A and B are shown apart, each in its own frame.
Chain A
Amino acid sequence: QVQLVQSGAEVKKPGASVRVSCKASGYTLTTYSMHWVRQAPGQGLEWMGIINPTDGSTSYAQRFQGRVTMTRDTSTSTVYMDLSSLRSEDTAVYYCARDFAVRGVRNYFDYWGQGTLVTVSS
């Protein structure tokens, strides 16, 4: 069965960077694109960007451009999301979410990781 297992919670100081990982199992990583979505405490959902694990190409939401980097390691079926210059407003649960389409992109999400809480606090 498809599973996306994310790394554990992180506590970071303002200005620092964080890396969240998402390990896929139950399917071939390169068959589906992967998105990252975040959710601030008690708030709604916010799309951050997408990575195509086949070639590593990415597309980021404009508000995260310059601060976010998404990469992948096909040998371990893992995708990564790095977010830099953290501020308190970045405190949120970060989810990886698989795109619905096989070898394509539909931009909605059929499988989700369990979420990783990133807390930014001095």
Chain B
Amino acid sequence: EIVLTQSPATLSLSPGERATLSCGASQSLRSSYLAWYQQKPGLAPRLLIYDASNRATGIPDRFSGSGSGTDFTLTISGLEPEDFAVYYCQQYANSPWTFGQGTKVEIK
């Protein structure tokens, strides 16, 4: 089973700042099969990024994904108030599909 490790666990930033979230995989992900989701309290996750760098429909361009192999990054170029949430990465290279433990982006 592929283990995904997200860092940091918590990111304290102010609106307008840049957020950089990391996701490391225990083994290389073929074809960069990695997705990112945003989850707000009491709500279901929302797909942001797939195939490491492709934005899902309706996702603002301040969200971007990069990386390959075992190291992946989600960048939010300028935090809006609605971006404060928990972010999860998910790999779909090898079954079972697994998620990271999440990074909470909180208001500083």
Contacts and interface: CB of A to CB of B under 8 A. Distances in A.
Interface of A: 44-47, 59, 61-63, 95, 97, 100, 106-110, 112-115
Interface in B63-108: 88, 90, 92, 95-102
Nearest to A106: B92
Interface of B: 33, 35, 37, 44-47, 50, 56-57, 88, 90, 92, 95-102
**Is chain B's binding surface mostly helix, strand, loop or mixed?**
loop
B79 to A, nearest CB: 22
B45 to A, nearest CB: 6
A113 B19 CA distance: 28
Given A108-B35, A112-B44, A46 B56 contact: no
B90 A108 contact: yes
Contacts of B102: 44
**Is chain A's binding surface mostly helix, strand, loop or mixed?**
mixed
A47 B95 CA distance: 10
Nearest to B92: A107
Given A108-B92, A110-B56, A47 B47 contact: no
A40 B100 CA distance: 14
A95 B44 CA distance: 8
Contact of B47 (A46, A59, A108): A108
A107 B97 CA distance: 7
A44 B44 contact: no
